[in-house]
Amino acid sequence: MNETVTPLDSANVLQEVLQTWQPILNLDRLDPDEDLRTLGATSLMFMMAFMRTQEIFPVDTALADLFATRTAREFADVIRAAANPSV
């Protein structure tokens, strides 16, 4: 039986968010729990990450919710919550 992994699988969302943020921050590797602002993330960078994740994940996320996040893990959590509003 062939199991399909959905794009909103928890690990997949986090991996995509990390891969989105790494080039924006000019990093080879990003710890999912590092503070993005401490690493130099600006509001423009958050907007870039928002736009890229909107292309990848077909969910309605609020930009303000993403601006409120501190880490890539929190950023991914917002995307997952938007995909599963009843959870």
Q: Which tokens go with 69?
A: 């996040």
d(CA 41, CA 26): 10
Nearest CA to 13 out of 85, 65, 75 is that of 75
pLDDT at 13 over 70: yes
Q: Is the pTM of this model over 0.85?
A: no
Question: Which pLDDT does position 59 carry in this prediction?
Answer: 86
Note the residue count of the chain.
87
Q: Kindly report, residue by residue over 17-70, the tens digit of the pLDDT.
A: 999 999 999 999 999 999 999 999 999 999 999 999 988 888 888 889 888 999
CA 21 to chain centre: 8
**Alpha-carbon torsion (29, 71, 85, 59), positive or negative:** negative
Domains annotated on the chain, with CATH: 10-83 (1.10.1200.10)
pLDDT at 5 over 50: no
